[in-house]
Amino acid sequence: MGYNRGLKFGTVFTILIVLVAIYYRSSEDILQKRLQALIYGLEKLENKHVMTSRPTVAIGYGMCTDVYVNAKELLNYSEQVGRPQHFNEINTELELLKSFAYYFRHGAAAERYMANRTLFDELVAKARSFPSSYSTIGGNAAIMALRFAREGCDVTLAAKLTRSLHQMMPQVINIVGGELKRDDIHLVIEYKHGDVWGPYSSARANRYIIHNDVNNPKISSLDAFDKLLSTYQPNLLVISGLQMMDNYPFPNGDREKLLYKVKRQMINQSVSTKIHFEMASFAEDKLLFELCNSIIPFADSIGMNEQEIANLYNAMYYGNISLVANSTPRIATVLDQMRTLFKLLRIRNKTINNSREVTRMHVHTLAYQAILTVKGSMWKNTMAAAAKASLTAHRHVCATSHIDIKKAALILDDSFSTSLVDGTRIALNTDKPVSCWEEILKIENKDISIQVCVAPVLVCTEAAQTAGGGDNISSAGLVLQI
Ligand SMILES: *[C@@H]1O[C@H](CO)[C@@H](O)[C@H](O)[C@H]1NC(C)=O
Ligand SMILES: *[C@@H]1O[C@H](CO)[C@@H](O)[C@H](O)[C@H]1NC(C)=O
Ligand SMILES: *[C@@H]1O[C@H](CO)[C@@H](O)[C@H](O)[C@H]1NC(C)=O
Ligand SMILES: *[C@@H]1O[C@H](CO)[C@@H](O)[C@H](O)[C@H]1NC(C)=O
Ligand SMILES: *[C@@H]1O[C@H](CO)[C@@H](O)[C@H](O)[C@H]1NC(C)=O
Ligand SMILES: *[C@@H]1O[C@H](CO)[C@@H](O)[C@H](O)[C@H]1NC(C)=O
Ligand SMILES: *[C@@H]1O[C@H](CO)[C@@H](O)[C@H](O)[C@H]1NC(C)=O
């Protein structure tokens, strides 16, 4: 009896274990199948649109050498770091450590000017001494130029650079701006998801950049670019790299003069040239307000990440700026910010001479891509653009052209709401992964029809690079829309 019961119990236990194993195996199978379906769905959309002509794209401004280093190798935590703190410009090693801690604990990307050249050169030399450190071509405009060229566009880039850096660029890219003796260097301090630094651990893979630029903040290629644009009408003009002016010690009034020239350049384009503005990390409120008044109103399209939209939204809605925001915001939150920003920009357009009406916004986040376009505007293929941006995000961070599902994860829920107030729920369909819908936005008694597309991102679980991601993603999204 006792023996029999023991046997029975043993059998039941074994069966239970087998069932549990089968359950786990099959739920893993289901997950893999879902990811596979999602990749297939996104790739199908990406490949649906074949470019029939070579669009012409002109991109401003700047270029540099990016030196990559692992945060844990370059920056040692010590008790001395104390409270994390934001600095407008960084002069000492302690300021660097405090500032790094400030952004690292939120997993927020940041880009800061280091006024102390001695310290900067020391840090670069130290970074280069680690075997894991490497250098690439850098600068938002240059990375966007490379991506547009790779996608089959005729590309002109505005940048002043040394002959040796010029030789690293593919010859198909036309570079205007002239020659330099020393290139600007950006030190890209990278960290991975879950990295621990002192008492902090990072919520996501990201990077903290410091620079000591001499050329990029002054847009030394601006006049040469003007000359080219007077005879050349590209399909798309991209304005990027203006964050190099952030907290840069300009002589009084020089920055305003420069921004005025950029504005003239934008206004001077024919209406057939679409203008895209690529946002970036701005910490100086005065500069951000200047951009809101004298650059952004002259663009048709804006590209940004979750930090940058939060910053721009705060600047335009509240008149203050946000240095760090949630690094993994909900879709509803970002879509609401996009709608509000769109309305604010449209209303502002009515009071600014020669402004353009914003017709496109692209927000890229770790978990998804969201693109808003005005119905009937010149932007095509929004759904495919969202798919391409999503695939590019994964490929860039994993540094691969082939997506390996073992390195991909979906961090979105099965459904999302389109707004925090009265939103509708949309289920994520793995066979049709990009969700698009139409909305009417009411702006001063006028109804404006927009299309919104949201694509999930297959988050790369083994991040190889994070810097330059936004530039690749924004360009990949634009290329199918022009
Ligand atoms: C950090 O500490 C390690 C080991 O103590 C040392 O080898 C390295 O040079 C230090 N790095 C910096 C930037 O001080
Ligand atoms: C600049 O950095 C060097 C080297 O770290 C340091 O000795 C010097 O005090 C710094 N200068 C200023 C103005 O902070
Ligand atoms: C504006 O464009 C016209 C030609 O379209 C050109 O002649 C003029 O130099 C340009 N001005 C500026 C400031 O770019
Ligand atoms: C900006 O101002 C708004 C309204 O006063 C406030 O709610 C928000 O916290 C402020 N944001 C920052 C970053 O200071
Ligand atoms: C806009 O242009 C009009 C006509 O040229 C001019 O009178 C007005 O002062 C301009 N407004 C601004 C804000 O520049
Ligand atoms: C607003 O943008 C539209 C379209 O680009 C333009 O026609 C209009 O003149 C702009 N408004 C002002 C006040 O410049
Ligand atoms: C992003 O751009 C950089 C610079 O062009 C390039 O090295 C990298 O491979 C790009 N990423 C992808 C996914 O193409």
CATH number of the domain to which 197 belongs: 3.30.1110.20
Nearest ligand atom owner, CA of 475: 7
Which among 365, 406, 388 is positioned nearest to 31, based on CA atoms? Answer: 406
Per-residue pLDDT tens digits for 16-60: 666 666 666 667 788 888 899 999 999 999 998 888 889 999 999
Cα(263)–Cα(126) distance, integer angstroms: 40
Cα(236)–Cα(469) distance, integer angstroms: 20
Per-residue pLDDT band at 1 (split at 50, 70, 90): very low
Q: How many CA atoms lie within 13 A of 343 on its CB side?
A: 14
- Ligand 4 neighbours, Cβ below 6 Å, are 314, 318, 320, 322
pTM for the whole structure: 0.88
Q: How many CB atoms lie within 10 A of CB 16?
A: 10
- Is residue 145 in a domain? yes
Nearest ligand atom owner, CA of 237: 3
- Is residue 423 in a domain? no
Per-residue pLDDT tens digits for 181-222: 999 999 999 999 899 999 999 988 899 999 999 999 999 999
Say yes or no: CB of residue 155 within 6 Å of ligand 7: no
- Is residue 370 in a domain? no
- Is residue 206 in a domain? yes
- Is residue 414 in a domain? no
Nearest ligand atom owner, CA of 231: 3
Q: Is the dihedral of CA 381, 308, 143, 56 positive or negative?
A: positive
- Is residue 431 in a domain? no
Per-residue pLDDT band at 467 (split at 50, 70, 90): low
Cα(80)–Cα(391) distance, integer angstroms: 42
Taking a C-beta distance cutoff of 8 angstroms, is the pair 453, 436 a contact?
A: yes
Position in ligand 1 atom list of the atom nearest CA 75: 13
- Is residue 254 in a domain? yes
Say yes or no: CB of residue 119 within 6 Å of ligand 2: yes
Number of domains in the chain: 1
Cα(43)–Cα(73) distance, integer angstroms: 37
Which among 187, 99, 113, 152 is positioned nearest to 479, based on CA atoms? Answer: 152
Segments forming the whole domain that contains residue 103: 50-299
Least confident range of 171-180, 251-260, 287-296, 406-415: 406-415
Cα(218)–Cα(125) distance, integer angstroms: 25
Largest CA distance in the chain: 98
